[in-house]
Amino acid sequence: MMLTPLTFAIAAFLGGPPGMPPTQTPAPTPTPTPAQTTAASAAARRDEQITVTANRIPARVSETAASVAMVSGADLAVTAAATLDDALRQTPGFSLFRRTGSRAANPTAQGVSLRGLGASGASRAAVLSDGVPFNDPFGGWVYWGRTPRAAIDRVEIVRGGASSLYGTDALGGVINLVSRKATAPVLNVDASWGAERSPLVSLFAGGRRGKWGVQASGEHFQTDGYVLVDVAQRGPVDTKAGVSYSSADLTIDRVTASGDRLFLRGSLFDESRRNGTPLQTNGTWLRQLAAGGDWITRPLGTVTLRGYIGSQVFDQDFSAVTADRRSEALTRRQRTPARHGGVSSQIARGLGARHALVGGLEFREVQGDSDEIGFGGGRATLTALSGGRERITAIYAQDVIALSTRLIGTLGGRFDRWENSRGRSVTTNFATSLTSFVAFPSRVETAFSPRLSLLYKVGPTLSLTTSGYRAFRAPTLNELYRSFRVGNVLTQANAALQAERLTGGEAGLRFASRERRFRASGSAFWSDISRPVANVTLSSTPALVTRERRNLGRTRSRGLELEAESRLLESFSMTLGYLFVDPRVTSFPVNPALEGLLLPQVARHQFTFQTRYTHRSSFTVAVQGRAAGAPFDDDQNLLPLDRLFVVDAFASRAVSRNVEAFAAMENVLDARYQVGRSGVTTIGAPRLARVGLRLKFGPP
For the stretch 216-251, pLDDT in tens is 999 999 999 999 999 999 999 999 999 999 999 999
Report the predicted TM-score, pTM, of the whole model to 2 decimal places.
0.89
Least confident window among 189-193, 264-268, 586-590, 662-666: 586-590
Residue 464 has pLDDT above 50, yes or no: yes
> pLDDT category, 570, cuts 50, 70, 90?
confident
Fold of 5-697: Maltoporin; Chain A (2.40.170)
Q: Sign of the C-alpha dihedral, residues 520, 526, 531, 537?
A: positive
**pLDDT value of residue 635:** 85
The mean of the pLDDT values for the chain is: 87
**pLDDT value of residue 486:** 64
- Residue 488's SS3 state is coil
Q: How far is CA 157 from CA 162, 182, 604, in A?
A: 11, 23, 21
Kindly report, residue by residue over 301-360, the tens digit of the pLDDT.
Answer: 899 999 999 999 999 998 989 889 999 999 989 999 999 999 999 999 988 889 999 999
Could you tell me which residues come within 8 angstroms of residue 209 by beta carbon, excluding any fewer than 6 positions away? none
> Hey, how many other C-beta atoms are within 10 angstroms of the C-beta on 324?
10
| Mean pLDDT computed over 207-216 | 94
Higher pLDDT, 258 or 277: 277
Residue 9 has pLDDT above 90, yes or no: no
| Mean pLDDT computed over 146-161 | 93
Question: Cα separation of 607 and 410, whole Å?
Answer: 31
Least confident window among 22-36, 124-138, 474-488, 552-566: 22-36
Report domain extents, the chain: 5-697
What would you measure as the largest C-alpha separation in the chain, in angstroms?
Answer: 82
Question: Cα separation of 300 and 14, whole Å?
Answer: 8
DSSP character at residue 196? T
Sheet holding 173-179, edge to edge: 67-72, 152-159, 173-179, 126-129, 132-133
Could you tell me which residues come within 8 angstroms of residue 8 by beta carbon, excluding any fewer than 6 positions away? none
Question: Cα separation of 496 and 555, whole Å?
Answer: 19
**pLDDT value of residue 651:** 97
Strands (E), 256-354: 261-274, 281-297, 301-321, 328-351
**pLDDT value of residue 284:** 96
> pLDDT category, 483, cuts 50, 70, 90?
confident
**pLDDT value of residue 300:** 85
Identity of the residue numbered 37: T
Q: Helices (H), strands (E): how many in the chain? A: 6, 38
**pLDDT value of residue 32:** 36
Question: Cα separation of 495 and 501, whole Å?
Answer: 18
DSSP character at residue 125? S
Q: Cα 223 from chain centroid? A: 22
| Mean pLDDT computed over 403-407 | 93
Residue 61 has pLDDT above 50, yes or no: yes
Higher pLDDT, 285 or 13: 285
**pLDDT value of residue 648:** 97
Question: Cα separation of 371 and 387, whole Å?
Answer: 9
Backbone angles phi, psi at 34, to 5 degrees: -55, -30
> pLDDT category, 482, cuts 50, 70, 90?
confident
**pLDDT value of residue 260:** 92
**pLDDT value of residue 60:** 77
Question: Cα separation of 46 and 323, whole Å?
Answer: 53
Kindly report, residue by residue over 426-452, the tens digit of the pLDDT.
Answer: 999 998 999 999 999 999 999 999 999
**pLDDT value of residue 117:** 86
**pLDDT value of residue 487:** 61
Least confident window among 7-21, 309-323, 608-622: 7-21
Kindly report, residue by residue over 65-109, the tens digit of the pLDDT.
Answer: 888 888 988 899 999 999 999 999 988 889 888 888 899 988 888
Backbone angles phi, psi at 235, to 5 degrees: -135, -170
